[in-house]
Amino acid sequence: MKKIYANATEALDGVLTDGMLIAAGGFGLCGIPELLLEAIKDSGAQDLTFASNNAGVDDFGIGILLQTKQVKKMISSYVGENAEFMRQYLAGELELEFNPQGTLAERMRAGGAGIPGFYTKTGVGTVIADGKEHKDFNGETYIMEEGIFADLAIVKAWKADDTGNLIFRKTARNFNVPAATCGKICVAEVEEIVPRGSLDPDQIHLPGIYVHRIIQGDHEKRIEQRTTRKKEEA
């Protein structure tokens, strides 16, 4: 199977349609599949639902799709850095399904493992539990959350080989791995594609069986909030 494509537009050709549920990797501004998101913007696809830890910022990440009104709904756990997201939500222009961060990661992981639902204590007694099934185990109340089965997964990795084995760097691993597994089709953008057999099997974070298409490209290294320590007096 050919997995390496020349660019993001080619990699999404034939798999991107209006109304899709897309699982997107990224944690803050780390590990965002920016090239694929730009290609989705250029495609003009509409009424999209994104399952993602965050919505990026106004001019980066999923934020660029909010600007063009291509996103119908967000399934997220943190959206605090995006003014356009807030404006659309408060104006009733954007649907929002809030998830606790661990619950969202587990919903993606569950979908990737073929698990339709699971029980968790997180959210019991809060608005998160409204309308969800409650069940007691050993005297403790849990709520049922559904696994996420996405039509498409887009992720960003550090290295890949031509079979799709992926290695992520540090924080980029948080949501990219579960997002990749829960998509019917997974498209990955990477910084480097290396020859087959050159990756240490013990260092591979995501096996190539989950990855259908790969592109290599140049990426922007953004820092969401720069925090530094004050210089000590001599």
Q: How confident is the model at residue 81 (pLDDT cuts 50, 70, 90)?
A: confident
The CA–CA distances, whole Å, from 82 to 35, 71, 104 equal 19, 14, 19
Q: What is the CATH number of the domain that holds 89?
A: 3.40.1080.10
Residues 95-110: tens digit of each pLDDT: 999 999 999 999 999 9
Q: Does residue 23 lie in a domain region? A: yes
pTM value is: 0.92
pLDDT of residue 230: 83
Q: What is the mean pLDDT of residues 113-138?
A: 96
Is residue 27 assigned to a domain? yes
2 within domain boundaries: no
Residue 128 in any domain: the answer is: no
Residue 183: closest CA among 216, 204, 213: 213
Does some domain include residue 46?
Answer: yes
pLDDT at 100: 95
* Structural domains in the chain (count): 1
* Structural domain includes residue 222: no
Which residue range forms the structural domain that includes residue 86? Answer: 8-114+149-216
**Would you say residue 124 lies in a domain?**
no
CA 198/CA 165 separation, integer angstroms: 11
Share of the chain above pLDDT 70, in %: 98
Query: Is residue 126 domain-resident?
Result: no
224 pLDDT above the threshold of 70: no
Q: Exposed/middle/buried for 38, CB within 10 Å: 0-12, 13-18, 19+?
A: middle
